[in-house]
Chain A
Amino acid sequence: MQSVGDDLISVSVADPAAAQALAAGLRDTGLWIEAVAGIDSVVVRFDNAALSRHAAREQLAESMATDFKCAEKSSKLVEIPVMYGGENGPDLPAVCETLGLTQREFIALHSGEYTVDMLGFIPGFAYIGGLDARLEIDRLPQPRQFVPAGSVGIAGGRTGLYALPGPGGWPLIGRTSCTLFDAQSDQPFVLDAGTRVLFTAVDTL
């Protein structure tokens, strides 16, 4: 357990699936204001006016002793057509140069089936793991102030789908026309942790 700040505690976990299971279990206890999963950690927020850090840590330790079940893998498969490169993926040339790949090789390696590790960042943003090791690349040194909706980025061995326009720090390699978040819908989130996605290369959106 580590302090993230005065009212936040982080615990390390093995992988995204374990983080999702623990965070969901902690939310179900109703003891935490927020319980949010990261890739390899879970952070809880507690009311530090009412609960001492010591008591919060004890409560967290007790909750963690429970064996939270990993969620059943969703059978849903969502196809995501991606237009790679050009103005839709402005960083693709630089990414290919860094990785020593042609754009054609990059697209062949990137398209295919993956599983969503988690949602986060902004509504509908999906972290999708399982990238080929040859596509490992760093985030941009300074985030962009504006990334268009539907942008597809990669960083740290994952693909990130930007459902909404906004700032973003992942090198952009393409864009999809799929609507990934719809605030007006009863089910605003198209993807969830565990959802399978299929990236297919297309020439037009």
Chain B
Amino acid sequence: MTIRVVKSGLQTTIQGRPRIGQRHLGVPASGPADPLSMALANRLVGNSAFVPALETTLTGMSLRFACDAFIAISGANAACTLNGSRVAQHITIAVQKGDLLVIGAATQGVRSYIAFAGGLCAQQVLGSDSTYLPAAFGGHDGRALMDGDELRLKDPAASAALLKTPPEFCLPMRDTWSVRAGRSVETIDVEQPERLFSTKFRIGNRSDRMGIKLEGETFVTEGNGQMPSAPVFPGVIQCPQDGNLFILSIDSGTTGGYPRVAKIARLDLHILGQLRPGNSLALLERSDEQAAQELREKHAYWQPWLPDISVGPIL
């Protein structure tokens, strides 16, 4: 009852629940870089949000099924085919033994999520199925999938109703993005703070699950850019001495010594998983109170389709 990885793509990993409550040991969150898209895929096959699924990166991948299965694809815009015929994203697909599923290269966004009714088997390490590549643990032997790998379903008998994500819950992919953010502890030099929220940044090539480099403007922080190592979290924007801002993402370290000049608000963290080199990004300034209010509104918006949105929490 296996699924064969025909083409593994640039970096396809098994992701599940983030690791919570272990940052004091230096253990990062991991889990899906875009948890909202993964939750949407899992929703279509009757799974809870963080049941282990596949996360692809840019190039897509292909799978040959040696068993029947119910699957769904969400996330980046990508042309997908089943046995050569186009299949839609954002619907439940009944796959049959022998079928070949091809996830095309992402045309907008970065990561596709492929969910399987009942979920994939994965190695649980430090309380989670999620792959953490830097330490090579979790998921499938702690590594990205390779051509020829065999994946197993946790529950091969799992079935699912055939669903379609309502259009108002399909996440739009873009080339031009904006995320809500607020100021953080260390301050940008007095003449520059406004620029932080008025610059159109370009997403740099050095962007992955650890973090995302912002290009287009450089900044100077008060002081010499050196500080004692302090706790950091996904969404924190650091400003190293060279002045190029760096957004920490889902696999980022738990402490860092570069000034923390801003943080992307919790409600928009899922967007980090879809920012593609060359895309543009604007930071929209929000106070902490505004960000909390808009988070509650976003939870209320998603609640009808994703009941776990705030208790999971997916956002």
Contacts and interface: CB of A to CB of B under 8 A. Distances in A.
A123 interface: yes
Interface in B252-283: 253-258, 260, 262-266
Most-contacted residue by chain A among B23, B134, B206 (CB, 10 A)? B23
A196 to B, nearest CB: 19
A132 interface: no
A43 B231 contact: yes
Contacts, number: 172
A124 B226 CA distance: 23
Interface string B113-125: 0000000000001
A87 interface: no
Interface stretch (A63-71, A73-81, A159-167): A159-167
B97 interface: no
| Tier of interface size on chain A | 35 or more
Most-contacted residue by chain A among B206, B228, B266 (CB, 10 A)? B228
Contacts of A145: 206
Contacts of B132: 123
Given A36-B23, A145-B206, A48 B228 contact: no
Nearest to B264: A5
A145 B125 CA distance: 25
A6 B182 contact: yes
A36 B262 CA distance: 19
A155 to B, nearest CB: 7
A33 B26 CA distance: 15
A205 interface: no
B228 A5 contact: no
Contacts of A124: 26, 135
A156 B134 contact: no
Contacts of A42: 231
A122 B230 contact: no
B286 to A, nearest CB: 7
Interface of A: 2-8, 10, 23-24, 27, 33-43, 45, 47-50, 52-53, 118-125, 127, 138-139, 141-143, 145, 155-156, 158, 164-167, 169, 181, 183, 188-189
